[in-house]
A and B are shown apart, each in its own frame.
Chain A
Amino acid sequence: EAQVTQNPRYLITVTGKKLTVTCSQNMNHEYMSWYRQDPGLGLRQIYYSMNVEVTDKGDVPEGYKVSRKEKRNFPLILESPSPNQTSLYFCASKISTGGRRNSPLHFGNGTRLTVT
């Protein structure tokens, strides 16, 4: 089954304790992205990657890191989490070759992070 898999689904942690949220897709998609979703603010892009070893900042990158060493994986790293990073996080992927730029984004089921 074609899917984007995020882990964990729920995570409660304390300020300053490094954490990683994993994201994997099995559709051979070039493009992958991380979003955070907060009430009233919608989906805001954190980082995205057009292909292996190519990453770029989105609209709200502060406090986050990403890597794209393999095509299928795009982990989100919080080196020193703070309470304002409490949010619902989504990973998404899509084909990004020029002729299919309108292809849909495929989302994971989300990771609900609480930082105390």
Chain B
Amino acid sequence: TQLLEQSPQFLSIQEGENLTVYCNSSSVFSSLQWYRQEPGEGPVLLVTVVTGGEVKKLKRLTFQFGDARKDSSLHITAAQPGDTGLYLCAGGGGGSYIPTFGRGTSLIVHP
């Protein structure tokens, strides 16, 4: 089983601050996805990155896939209370249709 390590595990910040969440592995992934899970709901896909070095932006969120396709980061600019939730990365490798999930980063943004 390919393992994905996410850091930090918990993050509590004030509205307007910037933050970065990391997702690391010793394995190479053919693609990596980021999901956000809000309380009482299932995870929802934010983005998929497939090319080493790829950068994708979703409003104030910036996602990057490492050049070697072993790691990824999620950067949030000027965090807002609506960004509160659990952020999960999930990697897919080779012919597998079965994504491997990291343990998640729990983010709380205080007004």
- A residues with CB within 8 A of B: 4, 31, 33, 35, 40-43, 45, 48, 50, 59, 90, 92, 94, 96, 98, 101-102, 104-105, 107-110
**A42 lies within 8 A of B104 (CB):** yes
A10 → chain B, closest Cβ, in Å? 11
Also in contact, A94 and B97, with CB within 8 A (given A42-B102, A110-B40): yes
- B residues with CB within 8 A of A: 1, 9, 30-31, 33, 35, 40-45, 48, 50, 88, 90, 92, 95-99, 101-104
Please, which residues of chain A bring their CB within 8 A of the CB of B50? 102
**A102 lies within 8 A of B48 (CB):** yes
In the complex, which of the residues B1, B44, B98 has the most CB atoms of chain A within 10 Å of its own CB atom?
Answer: B98
The residue from A35, A105, A109 contacting B40, defined by CB atoms under 8 A apart? A109
Q: How far is the CA of A101 from the CA of B90 in the complex (A)?
A: 13
Task: Name which residue of chain A comes closest to B4, CB basis.
Answer: A42
**B90 lies within 8 A of A105 (CB):** yes
Q: Which 10 pairs between the two chains have the least Cβ-Cβ distance?
A: A107-B42, A42-B103, A104-B45, A96-B97, A43-B101, A102-B31, A101-B97, A107-B43, A90-B42, A102-B48
A-B contacts, 29 listed (Cβ < 8 Å): A4-B42, A31-B97, A33-B98, A35-B101, A42-B88, A42-B103, A42-B104, A43-B88, A48-B98, A50-B97, A59-B1, A92-B42, A98-B95, A101-B30, A101-B31, A101-B95, A101-B96, A101-B97, A102-B33, A102-B50, A104-B45, A104-B48, A105-B33, A105-B35, A105-B90, A109-B40, A109-B41, A109-B42, A110-B40
Q: How far is the CA of A101 from the CA of B96 in the complex (A)?
A: 8
In the complex, which of the residues B35, B42, B48 has the most CB atoms of chain A within 10 Å of its own CB atom?
Answer: B42
Also in contact, A104 and B33, with CB within 8 A (given A42-B88, A42-B104, A90-B42): yes
Q: How far is the CA of A45 from the CA of B97 in the complex (A)?
A: 13
Q: How far is the CA of A14 from the CA of B48 in the complex (A)?
A: 41
